């Protein structure tokens, strides 16, 4: 009897303790359940589906198919589009951010431009595509003006707006604002004392930029450029609205795979392409976060 | 190049309606350490920055070693500067920071000289550390080493200790004084802490609203304040009513000489230092103890004499006899006093 | 006397205006073109502001607009209900879970919408089975999309007010956890919550990828479809949506400014 009593009590106490430790967790169950269903499961569907064969077994055929000509070309074009738009966006965006940082911190200019940047960075997609169609589309404002006033036919050598050059131009429209948003905090972190110290030690403006501000901003600039790259690589809506025929870039290839009703195998190929995209973006974002940490150490 | 004289002549700088510098004249002798002291907005930092070339005066001249440098940009003036915060370049080590100015001038002995300067400020082992790995006090020492490494004509210190802990502040200000004396560079030190100014300076310049109220040795500024503002800003002052007669004023029964005689006869307010007030328990005394605060080596006693409140600084040994409510006799030492305008 | 510093300030000003003018033209030109394009047919704008006539002439567009507005509102709501209590709860009681929550909330940044939609198809098959195929069910996916931005905003708000101390003070005065959350923490993170809501609305109004590839309707999808038949009207609607979003985000930044100015007494 005594033995039963002594073992019963610790069990009950332990049970109560365990319950107390678990109770707060219950408050997070809705969140985790939701994220599991609508984020984790879709991610797993893509990752697992990329290696799923037509028969349901494991296969590398889909991933291997990624290396086939037209898909590799699409990856290549996606990377080219992302790299060029990121570079142009980074340089021009950094310039605009520099202009903002030299203006009054609470002034109207900075607030309006920052708000505009916030909108334009987020709200790409269809709206942007139509805006460019209205500007330099076949019957756009600028196209018509050039033809009427300067006798210049923008599309004498083909309609480039719906191909890579056009996409690069349109993507820049949201890359520049995104650069402003992402790079501005780093510029704010540059203390005026550093410039003044460099000057009092005898440095010229050029020496200040090459020996102090340049090295300090380099990680932030690079990181922001990488973020722009990832953003451009992942973009779908703008290209979808502009390009109705053909699929020059990977996101449009995925569209093709999803909307094609041909074979189930195509579906899994779409998943493999999606996995490829995730890998590229994940690598880029990983590098970005490493650079962010360096920036935070110096310019926080 | 150490030990040059600096002259600021008739500097004027206006921001809208505010006179940051109002016809300021200041001369620093070679090798001297002058402290500019004053409340925020008095123009002391503006004066330093105009001397550095980081700001332009609307009018006036800046002469360094006899040469007019007013039109010279900051990077051509031979000056070393230490800032209140963010002095060091965060992406360079301590040694690289110190070498910065030397490398710009193409000095090949840069590493050796940098190491020497690091030793001078007592941080010989810290060469490879980055600013974020150092404490505030250590960063300011490296900043000082960096400024002195280029052997500047003038050393400029813009409230270098204001962002540091109290104890570090006291340690570092003695260090700065020691280093400045040994190197002998003409120095301008800006601060709002009067104790700091009195401890460090060869001469103290008290500023108000863009003008220099008094430029004198720390002892003179404290004991012979040129104006009520100086007397009030540097140290504590009692405001005691009295009446002026010729070159002295009669306060609480004592006749005290005036620092600046020539005031009109009649009622006036004298500024008396707490340590010039002595308090003694006296059952027939005119005063009553109000409060008593133990401050360590000395104590502060507030006494009411009629309608007047007097603050006295007494030796802590007297405290037991000065409990609140005790009748006391208040006496004033016969040192010269200034008048409250 | 022309000071060196005054000269540098002037050079900066010249550069500022040069850059602003050039980039300003680049960014305003498409907007101006949209105005010009949409007014080529004098009927476009009057029709747009006349709701009954609009829904009669372009029923799909009207459906899309209504759907987007409902989606935006519901997403903001779902995001708030899901994220705010969780963020507060984790900060107060489960600090060790913070890294995991942060990772999950920032994960959508690494998973592009185009990839997410590939994996969402089977999940949505179940959603349709339980809740039908209406466009409103997109709200579930949208809440995931807004997670990174909403979480960053709310987390920043919580970090700024030192939740732990507030909660401890409230608890020591005798409040239960619900009171702590509702009456102590929430009022203090009002602007962070509002900004998270604003960001969610802006994002949902601009979303196209998931709606289009899951064959549902929203504002952007209907604009795209409309573009094929009536270019002028589609441009007019795009412009309106863009301007609305701009006003929204401008209000948001003014809100953030006001909070900052309260914290820093001049």
Examine the domain organization and report whether B43 and B177 are in the same domain.
Answer: yes
pLDDT tens profile C102-131: 888 888 888 889 999 989 988 988 888 888
pLDDT tens profile B291-328: 988 888 889 999 998 888 999 999 888 888 888 888 88
Strand partners, B300: B293, B313
Question: Is pLDDT at B271 greater than 90 in this prediction?
Answer: no
CB C242 within 8 Å of CB C31: yes
For residue B185, which residues of chain A lie inside 8 Å, CB to CB? none
Q: How many Cα atoms are found within 13 Å in the side-chain-facing hemisphere of B232?
A: 14
What percentage of chain B reaches a pLDDT higher than 70? 99
Q: Which residue segment(s) compose the domain that B258 sits in?
A: 236-339
| Mean pLDDT of the residues in chain C | 85
Identify whether B1 is part of a domain. Answer: no
- Quick one: CA dihedral A273, A279, A282, A283, positive or negative? negative
pLDDT attached to residue A118: 78
Identify whether B149 is part of a domain. Answer: yes
For residue A112, which residues of chain C lie inside 8 Å, CB to CB? 250
Please tell me if residue C266 touches chain B, with a CB cutoff of 8 Å.
no
Q: Which residue of C has its CA nearest to B70?
A: C3
Of the candidates B208, B230, B252, which is a domain's last residue? B230
For chain C, give every domain's residue range: 4-38, 46-263
Please tell me if residue B140 touches chain A, with a CB cutoff of 8 Å.
no
For chain A, give every domain's residue range: 1-50, 68-299
Out of A193, A200, A211, closest to residue B86 by CB: A193
Out of A194, A211, A215, closest to residue B86 by CB: A194
pTM, to two decimals: 0.83
CB contact under 8 A, B150 and A199: no
Examine the domain organization and report whether B158 and B240 are in the same domain.
Answer: no
Calpha distance C260→C160 (Å, rounded): 11
Identify whether B60 is part of a domain. Answer: yes
Calpha distance A70→A78 (Å, rounded): 12
Q: Measuring CA to CA, which residue among B120, B133, B197, B187 is closest to residue B157?
A: B187
Where residue A17 falls among pLDDT bands split at 50, 70, 90? very low
Q: Measuring CA to CA, which residue among C8, A191, A98 is closest to residue B75?
A: C8
Calpha distance A115→A121 (Å, rounded): 10
Examine the domain organization and report whether B139 and B108 are in the same domain.
Answer: yes
Q: State the CATH number of the domain containing residue B11.
A: 3.40.50.300
Examine the domain organization and report whether B178 and B244 are in the same domain.
Answer: no
Fold designation for C46-263? MetI-like fold (1.10.3720)
For residue C3, which residues of chain B lie inside 8 Å, CB to CB? 55-57
Please tell me if residue C135 touches chain A, with a CB cutoff of 8 Å.
no
Out of B85, B90, B100, closest to residue A201 by CB: B100
pLDDT attached to residue C40: 85
Calpha distance C155→C193 (Å, rounded): 10
CB contact under 8 A, A196 and B91: no
pLDDT attached to residue C70: 92
Fold designation for A68-299? MetI-like fold (1.10.3720)
List the single range of A188-192, B125-129, B177-181, C227-231 with lowest mean pLDDT: C227-231
CB contact under 8 A, A130 and C122: no
What ipTM goes with this model? 0.83
Q: How many Cα atoms are found within 13 Å in the side-chain-facing hemisphere of C80?
A: 20
pLDDT attached to residue A265: 56
Q: For residue A48, what are the CA distances in angstroms to A68, A76, A280, B42, C123?
A: 21, 24, 17, 71, 14
What is the mean pLDDT of the segment spanning A36-56?
Answer: 84
Out of B76, B81, B150, closest to residue A196 by CB: B81
Calpha distance A31→A43 (Å, rounded): 17
CB contact under 8 A, C202 and A254: no
Question: Is pLDDT at C3 greater than 80 in this prediction?
Answer: no
| Mean pLDDT of the residues in chain A | 83
Joined together, the tokens standing for residue A98 give: 């520099």
pLDDT tens profile A239-297: 998 887 778 888 988 888 887 755 555 667 888 889 999 999 999 988 988 888 888 88
For residue A106, which residues of chain C lie inside 8 Å, CB to CB? 257
Examine the domain organization and report whether B11 and B140 are in the same domain.
Answer: yes
Domain count, chain B: 2
CB contact under 8 A, C4 and B70: no
CB contact under 8 A, A297 and B76: no
Q: Which residue of C has its CA nearest to A122?
A: C203
Examine the domain organization and report whether B215 and B105 are in the same domain.
Answer: yes
What are the φ and ψ backbone dihedral angles of B13, each rounded to 5 degrees?
-150, 120
List the single range of B44-48, B269-273, C249-253 with lowest mean pLDDT: C249-253
Q: Measuring CA to CA, which residue among B80, B73, B44, B38 is closest to residue B56?
A: B73
Q: Measuring CA to CA, which residue among A265, A259, A250, A123 is closest to residue C215?
A: A259
CB contact under 8 A, C4 and B59: no
Please tell me if residue B206 touches chain A, with a CB cutoff of 8 Å.
no
Question: Is pLDDT at A5 greater than 60 in this prediction?
Answer: no
Joined together, the tokens standing for residue C7 give: 């000269």
Alpha helices in chain B (DSSP H): 44-52, 94-104, 110-120, 136-149, 166-183, 194-200, 218-223, 228-233
Examine the domain organization and report whether B135 and B181 are in the same domain.
Answer: yes
pLDDT attached to residue A8: 44
Examine the domain organization and report whether B181 and B151 are in the same domain.
Answer: yes
Interface A-C, measured as beta-carbon pairs within 8 A, has a size of: 226
Examine the domain organization and report whether B190 and B250 are in the same domain.
Answer: no
Where residue A209 falls among pLDDT bands split at 50, 70, 90? very high
List the single range of B239-243, B273-277, B337-341, C126-130 with lowest mean pLDDT: B337-341
For residue C223, which residues of chain A lie inside 8 Å, CB to CB? 126-127, 130
What single string gives the DSSP state of each residue in C183-247? IIIGGGGHHHHHHHHHHHHHHHHT--HHHHHTT---HHHHHHHHHHH-HHHHHHHHHHHHHHHHH
């Amino acid at each position: 009897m005594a033995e039963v009593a002594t073992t019963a009590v610790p069990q009950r106490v332990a049970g109560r303790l365990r319950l107390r430790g678990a109770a707060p967790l219950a408050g997070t169950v809705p969140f985790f359940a939701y994220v599991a269903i609508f984020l984790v499961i879709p991610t797993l569907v893509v990752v697992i589906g990329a290696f799923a064969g037509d028969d349901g077994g494991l296969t590398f055929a889909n991933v291997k198919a990624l290396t086939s000509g037209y898909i590799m070309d699409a990856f290549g074009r996606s990377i080219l589009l992302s790299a060029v738009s990121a570079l142009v966006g980074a340089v021009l965006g950094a310039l605009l951010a520099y202009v903002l940082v030299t203006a009054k911190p609470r002034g109207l200019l900075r607030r309006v431009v920052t708000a505009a940047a916030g909108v334009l960075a987020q709200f790409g997609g269809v709206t942007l595509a139509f805006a460019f169609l209205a500007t330099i589309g076949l019957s756009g404002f600028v196209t018509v003006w050039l033809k009427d006033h300067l006798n210049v036919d923008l599309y004498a050598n083909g309609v480039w707006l719906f191909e890579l050059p056009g996409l690069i131009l349109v993507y820049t429209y949201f890359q520049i604002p995104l650069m402003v948003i992402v790079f501005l905090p780093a510029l704010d972190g540059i203390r005026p004392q550093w410039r003044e110290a460099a000057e009092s030690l005898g440095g010229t403006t050029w020496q200040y930029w090459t020996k102090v501000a340049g090295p300090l901003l380099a990680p932030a600039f690079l990181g922001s450029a990488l973020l722009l790259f990832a953003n451009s690589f992942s973009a779908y809506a703008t290209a979808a609205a502009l390009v109705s025929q053909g699929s020059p870039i990977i996101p449009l290839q995925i569209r093709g795979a999803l909307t094609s009703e041909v074979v189930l195998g195509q579906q899994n190929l779409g998943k493999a392409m999606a996995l490829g995209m995730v890998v590229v973006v994940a690598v880029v974002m990983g590098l970005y976060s490493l650079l962010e940490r360096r920036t935070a150490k110096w310019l926080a | 190049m150490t030990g040059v004289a600096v002259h600021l002549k008739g500097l004027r700088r206006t921001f809208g309606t505010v006179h940051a510098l109002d016809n300021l004249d200041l001369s620093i002798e070679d090798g001297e350490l002058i402290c500019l002291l004053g409340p925020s907005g008095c123009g002391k930092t503006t004066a330093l920055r105009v001397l550095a070339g980081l700001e332009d005066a609307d009018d006036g001249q800046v002469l360094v070693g006899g040469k007019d440098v007013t039109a010279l940009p900051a990077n051509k003036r031979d000056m070393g500067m230490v800032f209140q915060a963010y002095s060091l370049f965060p992406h360079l080590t301590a040694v690289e920071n110190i070498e910065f100015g030397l490398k710009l001038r193409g000095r090949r002995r840069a590493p050796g000289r940098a190491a020497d300067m690091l030793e001078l400020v007592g941080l010989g082992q810290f060469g490879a550390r980055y600013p974020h790995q150092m404490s505030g006090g250590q960063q300011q020492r490296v900043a000082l080493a960096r400024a002195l490494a280029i052997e500047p004509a003038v050393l400029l210190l813009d409230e270098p200790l204001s962002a540091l802990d109290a104890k570090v502040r006291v340690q570092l200000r003695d260090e700065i004084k020691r280093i400045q004396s040994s190197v002998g560079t003409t120095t301008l030190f800006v601060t709002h802490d009067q104790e700091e100014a009195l401890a460090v300076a060869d001469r103290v310049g008290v500023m108000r609203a863009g003008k220099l109220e008094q430029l004198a040795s720390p002892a003179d500024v404290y004991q012979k304040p040129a104006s009520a503002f100086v007397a009030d800003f540097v140290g504590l002052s009692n405001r005691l009513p009295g009446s002026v007669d010729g070159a002295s004023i009669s306060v609480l029964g004592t006749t005290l000489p005036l620092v600046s005689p020539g005031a009109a006869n009649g009622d006036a307010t004298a500024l008396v230092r707490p340590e010039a007030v002595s308090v003694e328990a006296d059952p027939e005394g005119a005063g009553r103890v109000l409060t008593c605060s133990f401050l360590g080596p000395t104590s502060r006693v507030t006494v009411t004499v009629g309608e007047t409140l007097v603050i006295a600084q007494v030796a802590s040994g007297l405290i037991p006899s000065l409990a609140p409510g005790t009748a006391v006799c208040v006496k004033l030492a016969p040192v010269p006093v200034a008048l409250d305008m | 006397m022309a000071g060196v510093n005054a000269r540098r300030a002037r050079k900066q000003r010249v550069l500022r205006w040069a850059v602003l003018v050039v980039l300003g033209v680049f960014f305003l030109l498409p907007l101006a073109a949209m105005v010009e394009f949409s007014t080529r047919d004098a009927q476009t704008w009057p029709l747009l502001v006349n709701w009954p006539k609009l829904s009669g002439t372009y029923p799909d567009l009207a459906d899309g607009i209504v759907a987007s507005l409902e989606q935006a509102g519901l997403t903001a709501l779902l995001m708030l209900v899901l994220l705010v209590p969780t963020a507060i709860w984790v900060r107060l009681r489960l600090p060790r879970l913070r890294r995991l929550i942060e990772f999950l909330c920032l994960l959508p940044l690494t998973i592009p919408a185009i990839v997410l939609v590939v994996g969402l198809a089977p999940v949505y098959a179940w959603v349709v089975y339980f809740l039908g195929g209406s466009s409103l069910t997109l709200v579930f996916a949208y809440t995931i999309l807004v997670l990174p931005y909403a979480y960053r905003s709310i987390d920043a708000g919580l970090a700024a007010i030192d939740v732990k101390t507030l909660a401890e003070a409230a608890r020591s005065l005798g409040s239960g956890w619900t009171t702590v959350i509702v009456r102590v923490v929430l009022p203090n993170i009002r602007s962070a919550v509002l900004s998270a809501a604003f960001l969610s609305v802006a994002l949902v109004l601009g979303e196209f990828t998931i709606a289009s590839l899951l064959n549902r309707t929203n504002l952007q999808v209907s604009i795209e479809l409309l573009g094929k038949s009536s270019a002028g009207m589609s441009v007019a609607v795009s412009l309106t949506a863009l301007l609305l979003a701009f006003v929204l985000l401008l209000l948001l930044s003014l809100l953030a400014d006001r909070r900052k100015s309260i914290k820093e007494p001049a």
